[in-house]
Structure 1
Amino acid sequence: MRPRFFTPAEVGVHNTAEDLWVSLLGRVLDLTPLAQRHKGDALLLPLLESAGKDISGWFHPDTKDVLRFIDPLTQCRRYYTPRGRFLHVPPPGPRSDWACELSAPWWRDSRYNIGLLSQKTRFIRVINTLTSQEQSLEVCSEETLEEILGRYLSYNSHAHSYTWKHAGAELDMSRTLEENGLHDDDLELSDLGLDRDLFSPALLLHFNDDLSEG
């Protein structure tokens, strides 16, 4: 099954204890069940403070585990948690109140994975040629046009009844924007000092005259 991609902005709105998402080394995790299960635990605080944000900096990209360092006083290898120790990170020394976790820590628990963080988002303009309505959308560069259509459904529930075109050519809904020839010019526009919003590609929706129920 193809994973769902999220923009950083989508992750960012889930920033409370009752709705807690984070992104981590390219993955998006819904930690709401974890937060509810450990409600009131001081070890939850670093996660609450970072809700809706990217916490990749807490982890080593190769081991996918929490960063570690050598304590200069004890010369022992310890977890590096400058924002404070968080859930499932053991204390630096033996403690009677620490119960060893036999199951995977939350950052290795696949149950919290809900998708992937887009490596690059893009802005597009979707123009309904029937109504002349225009909608600006931030989409993931990894998404197919069919997945982008899914984002647009909240603005037009009949989007499946339209043929999507760009520069007069019909778009392949199973392919990404790039694969359809809509190249990402953000870097070039930035180098030229031009506003990318003024040059975002326009996708034209042509009504098929087979209006579906919605």
Structure 2
Amino acid sequence: MRPTKYFTATEVSLHNTLGDLWVSYLGKVYDLTPLVNEFKGDVLLKPIIECAGKDISHWFDPKTKDILTHIDPLSGCVKYYTPRGRFVHVPPPCPRTDWTNDFGRPWWRDTQYEVGLLSVKTRWIRIINTLTSQEQGLEVCSEETLNEILQRYLRYNSHAASYTWKHDCVNLDMSKTLEENGIPDEDEDFYNTRMDRDLFSQSICLYFNDDLTEL
């Protein structure tokens, strides 16, 4: 089973407003819009809003999955390290009567905001409709199966499921990834040979099945 959805960094970056705010960190993607709505108008949202649509993994210790810490030079105590300023659920540096810690889990440990995984490596492919000669470039996640790539392609062709997908005249297994279908990622080869990878991308040809399936 593949219950988790993968996202590209570009997709995450599009969610960069107060009404639609995503971030990624430590390989996962989070929708913090509910958090923003809950603390609307709170100055402690500022560092989060400034990083809307971005990766904030540098805020965290990858081993503990918690916010980075440091020794406070004034108190000599271990404190959260927040160079952009203190944010929601981070305690104040000194005891205060207007701050409580009865909120449960801090937002960075709360799985309710998680929407999927950030792709470790994305790649560009060309999808060629042999019926219409339409060609579409598509950035996809290397972890995605062809069926998941098909879902991305539906915005360009709502009948995409009515086609047989082939590469080098070989039918593709829609339940497998590009790599598993023998379509290698050649970015490293292009880098080593100093060639522009934008000049070439692997192509997939679609052959119409004459059934007009619509998803």
**Aligned 8 A contact 1:88 1:101 in 2:** no
Once residues 3 and 21 of structure 2 are traced to their aligned partners in structure 1, the CA distance between those partners, rounded to angstroms, is: 23
Report the equivalent of 1:16.
Answer: 17
1:46-82 C-alpha deviation (Å, 9 max, x unpaired): 0000000000000100100000011233211010000
Once residues 58 and 164 of structure 1 are traced to their aligned partners in structure 2, the CA distance between those partners, rounded to angstroms, is: 42
**Aligned 8 A contact 1:189 1:195 in 2:** yes
TM-superposed deviation, 1:137: 0.2
Query: What SS does structure 2 have at the residue aligned with 1:163?
Result: strand
Aligned residue runs from structure 1 range 159-174, under 5 A: 159-174=160-175
- Provide closer, same or farther for how the CA distance between residues 213 and 7 of structure 1 changes in structure 2, counting only shifts above 3 A: closer
Once residues 124 and 102 of structure 2 are traced to their aligned partners in structure 1, the CA distance between those partners, rounded to angstroms, is: 43
4+ aligned runs moved over 3 Å, structure 1: none
Q: Does 1:63 align with 2:64?
A: yes
Amino acid at match of 1:27: K
Amino acid at match of 1:137: L
Once residues 119 and 188 of structure 1 are traced to their aligned partners in structure 2, the CA distance between those partners, rounded to angstroms, is: 18
Amino acid at match of 1:30: D
Q: Does 1:99 align with 2:92?
A: no
TM-superposed deviation, 1:213: 4.2
**Aligned 8 A contact 2:190 2:197 in 1:** yes
Q: Does 1:86 align with 2:122?
A: no
Larger deviation, residues 129-138 vs 180-189: 180-189
| Length-normalised TM-score, structure 1 | 0.97
How many residue pairs were aligned? 214
Once residues 19 and 102 of structure 1 are traced to their aligned partners in structure 2, the CA distance between those partners, rounded to angstroms, is: 23
**Aligned 8 A contact 1:88 1:105 in 2:** yes
| Length-normalised TM-score, structure 2 | 0.97
Larger deviation, residues 52-61 vs 181-190: 181-190
TM-superposed deviation, 1:195: 1.6
Aligned-residue Cα RMSD (Å) equals 1.0
Once residues 54 and 105 of structure 1 are traced to their aligned partners in structure 2, the CA distance between those partners, rounded to angstroms, is: 18
Once residues 93 and 33 of structure 2 are traced to their aligned partners in structure 1, the CA distance between those partners, rounded to angstroms, is: 27
Amino acid at match of 1:173: M
Query: What SS does structure 2 have at the residue aligned with 1:43?
Result: helix
- Provide closer, same or farther for how the CA distance between residues 76 and 31 of structure 1 changes in structure 2, counting only shifts above 3 A: same
Aligned residue runs from structure 1 range 4-153, under 5 A: 4-153=5-154
Once residues 63 and 102 of structure 1 are traced to their aligned partners in structure 2, the CA distance between those partners, rounded to angstroms, is: 20
1:23-68 C-alpha deviation (Å, 9 max, x unpaired): 0100100000110111110000000000000000001001000000
Once residues 107 and 15 of structure 1 are traced to their aligned partners in structure 2, the CA distance between those partners, rounded to angstroms, is: 18
Query: Unaligned 5+ residue runs, structure 1?
Result: none
**Aligned 8 A contact 1:28 1:115 in 2:** yes
**Aligned 8 A contact 2:161 2:214 in 1:** no
Amino acid at match of 1:119: V
